[in-house]
Amino acid sequence: METQKTEQLNRGEFLRSLGMSSAALMAFYCMGTLTSCSKGSSDPTPSTGTGTGTGTLDLTASGNSALKTEGGYVYNGSMIVARVKGGGYVALSKACTHQGTNVQYRLSQNDFYCPNHGSEFSTTGAVEVGPAGTPLTVYKTTLSSDGNTLTITT
């Protein structure tokens, strides 16, 4: 009687057996094709800025209604804009500098948190807890005199 030998391959070994290089595998992982370096959510808020770090937000628009209360935040292009503790506005790059997951604002800690690996950033973008090692980009915010428009510049 003949016995069969069964081999198990992990995902990486299987893909390498198909001829994919390590660099190609990392590209797939980081693009989220396989599972991921990035588990960020899609942008639910319509972008009214240019997406390049500058622009304006109409605070009366329904898509920006979260910014009417402390602790609310929206994603706008490549940024997260939050109404922080004390009522001011902060705009930072939204992608965690560790692996690109969208950060979230936490009112109770008055910081930005990456739900993927736990990095924490201050409202000035500085890294407070790793694994991220690079700060988030900070944008300047200016509220119009009527309180209806937030201008964001580099």
Q: What is the DSSP string of the chain?
A: -PPPP-----HHHHHHHTT--HHHHHHHHHHTSSS-S--PPP--SPP-S-SSS-EEEETTSGGGGGGGSTT-EEEETTEEEEE-TTS-EEEEESB-TTT-PBPEEETTTTEEE-TTT--EE-TTS-EEESS--SPPPEEEEEE-TTSSEEEEE-
Q: Which pLDDT band, with edges at 50, 70 and 90, does 112 fall under? A: very high
Q: Which pLDDT band, with edges at 50, 70 and 90, does 48 fall under? A: very low
The structure's pTM equals 0.67
Residue 92 has pLDDT above 90, yes or no: yes
Residue with tokens 């391959």: 9
Across the range 95-120, mean pLDDT stands at: 97
pLDDT in tens, 7-38: 555 555 655 555 544 444 454 444 444 433 33
- Which carries the bigger pLDDT value, residue 130 or residue 50? 130
pLDDT at 3: 55
